[in-house]
Amino acid sequence: MRIDDCLARMMAIPGAQRVTLVDCASGLAVASAGRDDRVDQHEDAAGATDVVRAVLGSAALSATPDGDDVEEIIVCGSAGYHLLALTGPDLDGHLFVHLVVDREKGNLALARLRMQGLVREMAVR
Amino acid sequence: MTAPNGAGEVLRALHGLERDGRSGVLRVGDVGSFEVADGAVVHAECRYTAGDWAEPIALFDAACFLLGVEGAPRFTEGPVSRGAARPVTAATLACELRRRRDLLDAEWPSADVDAAPVVPVRRVRRQRVFLTGLQAEILLNADGRRTPAELARDLGRTVFGCLLSVRGLAAASLVRAVRPGAPAERREPSREPSRDLFDGGMPRDGWAPADHQLLERLRAALVEL
């Protein structure tokens, strides 16, 4: 599946407002779709990357003493959710998807399920 | 990124090409090249950057590495074949380079480990160590002969990702740079010569090709004994 098709399907998740594919090492926004009223897409990507790197680098945020694999990071705001879904080792773990979901129109559990499927499909593309 | 004050000449050349709206290939030493169409960069590749990354990652990874390479770039005018899906201006590259240098400096503020081969330290002065997957790969492969960029090529990772990881490892005192000058140093990267000599790069069983310089140094040391 092409990246753009993949992003389009992520935008079809109920309540999805914006989706960005980010390179985890450099914090570079590789592709994005959806609402575009942010100050700077690349600044957003860099900020989200800081969060991912902080979690990956923190032993306190792993569920086992020897460090488990982080699959998602979720930030809940009063108006919406941020879902940061990390691609697994199939994509070298070097990309993550940042999905913004409206709190009223969206459903976090559904968004997570759909996202997991799409990330898996993207990894085997 | 490797040369702390680099980026001058290559960037100046790119700015000049952009101003005049020229098309062609700008070669940077024998390390890599930019393809320029109507003044904008449409492609960048370097010998360390794997080509199978999503296009913008590969372009910025190669470009930022090339901007740090010393020496005068050479421009060859001519049409370029690549489509300009997302052309990049010299100013964007300069901005991205600055951002990446800041990220590296935030990790560890010294560029010492960027260009030199790294080795793991002998003694780890901590009870526990927490590593990312890439940092573990680098520690397992740091042999004191390959620079971070060469490790990136061999591991199939981005150069920037490796530089960032190496800086993190340096900050945690887990790797150190091998000082040039100590053992006979080849600043020239690559094992290309040994590849050519032995027709196949990595032998079947996965051992790295023999380092002849190292063997000769060993023999010299043994003879002295």
Strands (E) located in B96-181? 118-120, 175-177
Between A40-44, B95-99, B208-212, the lowest mean confidence (pLDDT) is in: B208-212
CA-to-CA distance for A89 and A91, rounded, in angstroms? Answer: 5
Higher pLDDT, residue B173 or A59: B173
pLDDT of residue A38: 59
CB-CB contact of B132 with B162 (8 Å):
no
Q: Inter-chain contact A3–B54, Cβ cutoff 8 Å?
A: yes
This complex has an ipTM of 0.71
All residues of chain B having their beta carbon less than 8 Å from the beta carbon of residue A67 are 130
All residues of chain A having their beta carbon less than 8 Å from the beta carbon of residue B99 are 27, 46
| Residues of B within an 8 Å Cβ radius of A | 54, 56-57, 60-61, 96, 99-100, 103, 128, 130, 132-134, 156-158, 160-161, 164, 168
- Per-residue confidence at A107, pLDDT binned at 50, 70, 90? very high
Angstrom CA distances, A106 to A13, A18, A82, stand at: 8, 12, 11
The nearest CA of chain B is from the CA of A46 a distance in Å of 10
All residues of chain A having their beta carbon less than 8 Å from the beta carbon of residue B155 are none
Average pLDDT, chain B: 80
All residues of chain B having their beta carbon less than 8 Å from the beta carbon of residue A28 are 56-57, 60, 96
CA-to-CA distance for A74 and A79, rounded, in angstroms? Answer: 14
Q: Is the pTM of this model over 0.90?
A: no
Q: Inter-chain contact A30–B54, Cβ cutoff 8 Å?
A: yes
- Per-residue confidence at B181, pLDDT binned at 50, 70, 90? low
Q: Which of A28, A122, A90 is nearest to B160 (CA)?
A: A28
CB-CB contact of A102 with A15 (8 Å):
yes
Six token digits for residue B104:
């590296």
Q: Inter-chain contact A30–B57, Cβ cutoff 8 Å?
A: yes
DSSP characters for B142-162? --SSS-HHHHHHHHT--HHHH
Higher pLDDT, residue B185 or B145: B145
CB-CB contact of B155 with B48 (8 Å):
no
CA-to-CA distance for B135 and B168, rounded, in angstroms? Answer: 8
Q: Which residue among B100, B132, B133 places its CB closest to the CB of A26?
A: B100
Q: Which of B39, B42, B38 is nearest to B14 (CA)?
A: B39
Task: Provide CB contacts within 8 A for A71, sequence distance 6+.
Answer: A85, A86, A88, A116
* Average pLDDT of span A87-104: 80
Six token digits for residue A84:
């940061």
DSSP characters for A14-42? TTEEEEEEEETTT--EEEEEE---SS-HH
Six token digits for residue B62:
């190669």
The nearest CA of chain A is from the CA of B144 a distance in Å of 23
Per-residue model confidence as pLDDT tens digits over B13-57: 999 999 999 999 999 988 899 999 989 999 898 888 766 666 778
